[in-house]
Copies of this chain bind each other. A is one copy, B any other.
Amino acid sequence: MTRPLAIALDFGGTKVEAALVDDHGTVIAASRHRRPTGPTATSDELEQAVSEVVLAARAAIPDGTPFVGTGIGSAGPIAVADGTVSPLNVPAWRDYPLASLIAALVPDAPVVLRIDGVCIALAEHWIGAGRGAHNLLGMIVSTGVGGGLVLGDRTVPSPTGNAGHIGHIEVAGFDDPCACGGRGCLEAVASGPRTVAWARARGFEGTTGEDLAAAHAAGDPVALAAVERAGTAIGRAAASASSLLDLDVVAIGGGFSRVSPALFEHARAALAERVVFGFVTRTRIEPSALSDEGPLVGAAALVHRPELVS
């Protein structure tokens, strides 16, 4: 192998993963390693988990292969100016210097840290549903609702590094309390758990997104209504974001985005209601074209494609 390689690191609230990724965005499967993280891990345990996966990936670089550096995507909030992270669901790390830890493990090459949502958007732009788009919102609908932005073929400039929180755009007509302190945020309405809870309050007996998907496929009226509600909210948030940002594409991934193709139909229908603004209704809402490798691909783009990174 002679293609240039990057180490990609994806640090999240349940696991940390690292792998080698080449300059076409291909993840080298044998180099991919993961460890659990989670709300009860100590800082030492987190450091050890990160170190193990990064060093295992580094050890997989063949002799003589060009190495371009390490890209890190982290759950937020982060502080990009000093390379620290304070992931909401990982309380042991507050203002933790993750970029410095990695620089000590993998010296003499660039280390670039960005929030995980930015990495998703970069991956969609590089090899996913946003190829050829200039203005792109990458959205993840899962336990929460997150995202990231590429505008003018570059990640959006962000003084703190936390731009892209599409989950905290408000949606008209809703008033659900949100973990951020606000009300009616998209995440409080359309995340997987919130959608399941809404259905359960109306008699649905399942407990997971998979249960809701099965009920939807079987035509259960409460499941149909729950998916319509979530999809409509997603489409309205996309319409708000596109009104502000003139988006070409909204690429949506994450486990709950696969509950049913109807989720996308409802989202597109909601966007289409903004009939007066052709620059909004032109926005394409598409399923993510990335596998579960997306976060690693995007982290690798931070160092393979520096011209895309603000």
Contact = CB atoms under 8 A, between A and B. Distances in A.
Contacts of A149: 244-245
Nearest to A187: B243
B279 A77 contact: yes
How many copies altogether? Answer: 2
Interface string A263-280: 000000000011111111
B244 A169 contact: yes
Interface size on A, as a range, is 35 or more
A201 interface: no
B157 A185 contact: no
Interface string A142-180: 000000010111101111111111111111111100011
A154 B310 CA distance: 12
A74 interface: no
B179 A244 contact: no
B135 A158 contact: yes
Contact of A88 (B88, B182, B240, B276): B276
B244 A241 contact: yes
A182 B246 CA distance: 16
A181 B162 CA distance: 31
A156 B162 contact: no
Contacts of A282: 160
Contacts of A229: none
A246 B172 contact: no
A285 interface: no
A194 interface: no
Contacts of A168: 239-240, 243-244, 274, 277, 280
A276 B188 CA distance: 14
A248 interface: yes
Contacts of A131: none
A102 B291 CA distance: 50
A278 B243 CA distance: 25
A165 B276 contact: no
7 contacts: A135-B157, A135-B163, A162-B279, A164-B244, A169-B169, A170-B240, A180-B276
